[in-house]
Chains A and B, each alone.
Chain A
Amino acid sequence: EIVMTQSPATLSVSPGERATLSCRASESISTNLAWHQQKPGQAPRLLIYDASTRATGIPARFSGSGSETEFTLTISSLQSEDFALYYCQEYNDWPPRTFGQGTKIEIK
């Protein structure tokens, strides 16, 4: 089973700054990777799929990159509503679909 490792666990960022989140796969997953955002008490929301394609309605400040084993989610200028938990999820070795442990973006 593929293991997804996200770093850092917590990222402290000021509003308006850039945030860069990392996700590493234990083996190559091509570009079969999604990113989800979760706010407290809410269901996750799909942000990115196929490593770099924004889901419907997702603002352009969210961008994804990477392939094989190394992936990045970048938020170009953090807005107040972006402080949340972010999960990467692979779907190369399907099923199961494996999630990373999450990165929390908190206000600095």
Chain B
Amino acid sequence: QVQLVESGGGLVKPGGSLRLSCAASGLTFSDYYMNWIRQAPGKGLEWISCISGNSGYTKYADSVEGRFTISRDNAKNSLYLQMNSLRVEDTAVYYCARGKFYSDYWGQGILVTVSS
């Protein structure tokens, strides 16, 4: 079955950087668009980035454009999110999720806390 497992979260100071990873299994990874979606504590869901199967297309929400970079390594069945210039308001659980339009599989999420 499809499994998505995020890693790399933790506590970071404002202005710092962090790289999230998502390991995928049970699917032909390169066939699918992948996304990062986040959820601030007690808040709703916010889509932040997507990448096409061949990495030829990427898109970002305005809130992270220029600070975050999505990438993937199909040989390793892995998705990444490089997060730079982190802000307190980036504190959230970050989910990787499969699908171009709607996400039919989600990881369990990883917590990123930005605090001094």
Which residues of A line the B interface, CB within 8 A?
32, 34, 36, 42-46, 49, 55-56, 87, 89, 91, 94-102
Q: Identify the interface centre among B95, B100, B102, B107: most chain A CB within 10 Å of its CB.
A: B102
Which residues of B line the A interface, CB within 8 A?
35, 44-47, 50, 59, 61, 95, 100-109
- CB-defined contacts of B105 to chain A, threshold 8 Å: 46
Contact call B108/A94, Cβ cutoff below 8 A: no
Question: Which chain B residue lies CB-closest to A99?
Answer: B45
Given A43-B95, A43-B107, A43-B109: A95 and B102 interface contact (C-beta under 8 Å): no
Question: Which chain B residue lies CB-closest to A56?
Answer: B104
- CB-defined contacts of A55 to chain B, threshold 8 Å: 104
Q: How many whole Å from B51's CB to the nearest CB in chain A? A: 11
Question: Which chain A residue lies CB-closest to B99?
Answer: A46
Q: How many whole Å from B46's CB to the nearest CB in chain A? A: 7
Q: Identify the interface centre among A44, A46, A91, A97: most chain B CB within 10 Å of its CB.
A: A97
